[in-house]
Each structure stands twice: as structure tokens, then as C-alpha cells.
Structure 1
Amino acid sequence: MTAIAEPLPSFSGRDDRGFFVRGAIIMAVTVAAGFTFNLAAGRSSFGAPLLIHAHAITFMGWVTIYLTQNILVAKGNFALHRRLGWLAACWVGLMLVLGCAVTIFDIRAARVPFFFRPAQFLVFDPLTLFAFAGLTYAAIAMRRRTDWHRRLHFCAMSMMMGPAFGRLLPSPLLAPWAWEAAFAACLIFPLAGIVLDIRRGGKAHPAWLLGLAVTFGVLIGTEAITYSPAATALYNAVAAGSTGAAVAPLAFGHPPGAKPAPR
């Protein structure tokens, strides 16, 4: 059991805390910039429904938790880091519930950004969220393997950067590849970790490969499911009896103020 708890020999004794703290700070700043820009551009407002506010507070709370956890480790406060870790484990469950609830709300209210296909939005939002949760819980399960723990958490957090990049990138001009562009931007973070590992030790830690495999699994799964009859049936079931039922699941919408695409 002791051997299982030890890090891989080629990565033992390496202090990567600075990299993960800097990465967490950059992620937090990117998220804040994305949502601040969205608010300044008038694409969101404080008059949104309560569910949207609860979702925003919960997801911004996760960014705060992740940044705090990395700072605690850098300062050597492992006791508080472990206690906060249990809160984080519960927090992810709340994110799953609210994330799926907001996705359904947006579909039914026909609030899907016009540069996304509604069926694609219905697929990639929860798929990304559950992949994030899987990587996060895997990181928690491997908390005694610090090398794995840090990298899996980092990969999970990078998957949550899509909405921030979607707001910073000129997404309306990137359709029909707006989601794929935001996805590609998220890869900057794990790829930076891989480069650092290779420069320091000559090879990438396998945790990065696992994280990338899960990340690309979301991409492949989203593309495969979106254009299948299953996605259309799911969209019709979710949107039934709502404003969203008038929106074609695979048609791009119109800019704000225009009528939705007819079915």
C-alpha cells in the first residue's frame, strides 16, 4: 500500500507547485475577463433568472476553490487544503445539478447562443461537465499520488474554461466552429504542462495523456452524438411544450432580436 501511494520515480522530488499556482491564477483571470467582457458588452445582465445567478455563483465558487487550493499547497498549508478538499468534492455535485438545470432551461427558453447548434449545446454542455467531474473525482481518489492529483485537477479545470474562451473569442464570427474553437483554446493549459514535463524530465507524465484522452473523448462524443437521431429525439423531448420547441435542433439561430430559425 505504501508503494501505491508514492509518485512515479521519474517525477518524484520535483516541485511543480509554482506552475500549478500560476496556471490557476491565469485560469481565474481568464474566467473573470470573459464574464466581465460579456457583461460590459450587454450580452448578460444582473436581471437574469435566479437559476442563472445560482449557476454563476456556484461555478465561480469552483474557480475560487481551485485557486485557493493551489495557493494553500504552495504555502505548505496541507491541513486546510485537505479540509477544503472535502468541500470541493461536494461542490462538484452541486455543479452537476445546476449545470444540467441551466442547460435545460436555456434549451426550453430558446436562449442557446446563436452561434451554437441547439442540439450540440444540449450535448456538449453536460458531456463536458460530467467529464470534468470524472477527472476531478479521479484526482481526489489519487490524492496520495501528488503528481497525478495535481495534473488531473489541472486537466479538469481546463475543461471548464470553454465558456470563458467562448466569451473572449469572436464566437459569432467563428460559426459553425465556435464551440470547437473554444475547445481548442482550452488545450493550451494541459499542453503547457506537457511541455514543462518534457523540458524538465524528457517525457510527459501519463496523467496528461489521460486528461487529454478524456478531453478529446468529449470532442468526439459531442460530434458523434450531435448529428445522430438520438440527439434530435433528446432535444425534442427536452424542448417539448416550450419556446425552444420552435427552434430547429441543428439550425443556427439568429442574432439577438431576430426570430428563431423555423423548424
Structure 2
Amino acid sequence: MLIILISLAGFYTSYISHLPNFSHFPLLIHLHFIGFVGWFVLLIIQPILIAKGKRRLHRSLGKTAYVLIPLLIISILLLVLQQTEREFEYSIQKALMTSFIGFIDALSLGVYFTIAMMNSRNQRWHVAFIIACSLVILNPGMSRLLNQIHPGSGLLAASLLPILVSFSILIFEKINYQKPILKSPYLLFLGCWIAEILLLMIIPRTDFWKNFVLAILQ
């Protein structure tokens, strides 16, 4: 619920506050928001179904994620492409950073969701990478919200939160359940996220990425 509230607060000014007059927004924005809200609705309902022993309904309802995640990935890429085109007019470096963040978010969302679904019968791994997906989806709204409060703080928070969450769960599991850290799905997620941050610090500054983005925009 906290994740949902933070995310919705981040998009309140730019989108939700216009309710019910959404006619001036393109269809792509609406589809992205539907995917975003649909995922968080699942995030609330699915654990409740498991707690009540309704595993069959949990599995049936979970199949909607096979529509929601591709919808989110495609809409993220298209929206980032549009934003990159706009930013290229006044800041090439910012445009390159924006495009890479969008690309790595879409890629990691797809990878984490695939891992979660491949481990649907392994509750620990399944839950770990559902959390990973949710943190990726949370980041844009949280970044917008924090940037409204303190400009520039959004990217830092989006980079650090997944590290804090995964590290905290690693320590919690070790202390309370004596789970081996080296076999933990949260260690894998932590490693993947740190790798993403390192790539974010390097790739957008390269000629390779600049040429790649220019080729896509042309």
C-alpha cells in the first residue's frame, strides 16, 4: 500500500489531478497508467489469496500479469523515446541519460518478471522477483515525487532504494531464518541492481550509446 501511495503521489500533478478530464492525454499515457495500476492491484490481491489458501484463483488471476508486464515494457520504451526526442533539443547528455534509464528499466522489468514466473512454484524466489519488479515500477513515481520536493533527489533515491530493500531482507532472513546468503534470490537481485547502476554511470557517456540513440531517433 505504501508503494502504491508513493507512486500515485508522484503522478498526481502530471496525470491524476486532471481527473476526470483526460481527453488531452494520448492513448499511450492511459495504457501505461492502466498497466501500472493493474500491477499494483495484483500486488495487493495476490498475497491475500495465498493467505486464504485460494491458490487456484491466485494462479488464474496471475495470468493477467502476462498482459500487464508487456504493456508496461512497451509503453515505457515508447514514452522514453518521446521524452528523449524532446530532450535532445536542449541537452544531449540528459537525453542520453533518460534513454538509458528507460531502456534498463524495461529490460530489468522483463528479466525480473521472467525469473519470477519461472520460479512460480518456488515461493521464496517468486516473491523476491515480484518485489524486484515492483521496485522497478515504483521508481518513476517515487523519483517524480522526490524531485518535486527536492530537485535532483529522485535519481539518487531510485538508485539506492532497491539496494536498501534487498540488503535489509538478506540480513533479516539470515538473522531470523538462518537462510544462506549466497543462495538467496535477494543477493542475485542486489548484484543485478548494482550492475545496472554501474552501467548507468558508464554507458550514457559513450559514443556507442549516443550513436545508438541517434540511429533510433532518425
Give the TM-score range, shorter chain.
0.7 to 0.9
The 1:178/1:28 distance shift into structure 2, 3 A limit, reads: closer
Query: Structure 1: how far apart are the matches of 2:11 and 2:44?
Result: 17
> Which of residues 197, 202, 217 is equivalent to 1:224?
202
State the 1:161 CA deviation. Answer: 1.6
Equivalent residue in structure 2 for 1:211, among 189, 195, 198? 189
Structure with higher helix content:
2
Deviations 1:200-251 (A, max 9, x none): 12444611001111222221222221000012112323334xxxxxxxxxxx
Which of residues 115, 124, 132 is equivalent to 2:101? 124
Higher deviation after alignment, 148-157 or 164-173: 164-173
Residue by residue, what CA displacement relative to the aligned partner does 1:124-150 show, whole Å, maximum 9, x if unpaired? 112112112211111111111111111
Output the amino acid matched with 1:212: L
What displacement does 1:173 show? 4.7
Extract unaligned runs of 5+ from structure 2.
Answer: none
Across the aligned residues of Structure 1 and Structure 2, the Cα RMSD in angstroms comes to: 2.8
**Contact 1:158/1:187 (8 A) holds in 2:** no
Secondary structure at 1:144 match in 2: coil
Distance 1:92 1:30, change over 3 A: same
Q: 2:211 aligns with which of 210, 221, 233?
A: 233
TM (normalized to structure 2)?
0.83
* Contact map agreement 2:170 2:184 (CA 8 A) in 1: no
**Structure 1 position 136 matched with structure 2 position 113:** yes
When the two structures are aligned, how many residues end up with a matched partner?
Answer: 211
Q: Which amino acid aligns with 2:51?
A: A
Identify the match of residue 71 of structure 1 among 35, 48, 55. Answer: 48
> What is the alpha-carbon distance in structure 1 between the residues aligned to residue 148 and residue 204 of structure 2?
19
Question: Where do residues 1-40 of structure 1 align in structure 2 (5 Å cutoff)?
Answer: 25-36=1-12, 38-39=14-15
> What TM-score do you get using the length of structure 1 for normalisation?
0.70
Structure 1: how far apart are the matches of 2:121 and 2:88?
43
Q: 1:256 is matched with which residue?
A: none
Q: Give the conservation status (yes or no) of the 8 Å contact 2:49–2:58.
A: yes
- Separation (CA, whole Å) in 2 of partners of 1:222 and 1:104: 17
Q: Is 1:61 aligned to residue 38 of structure 2?
A: yes
Deviation by residue 1:174-222 (Cα, 9 ceiling, x = unmatched): 54x7423322134343334224313312444611001111222221222
Distance change (3 Å), C-alpha of 1:111 and 1:69: farther
Contact 2:166 2:187 in 1 (8 A): no
Which residue of structure 1 aligns with residue 170 of structure 2?
194
Rg bigger for which structure? Answer: 1
**What residue identity is the alignment partner of 1:224?**
I
Worse-matched range after superposition: 227-236 or 45-54: 45-54
The answer to whether 1:49 aligns with 2:26 is yes
Distance 1:238 1:147 in 2: 39
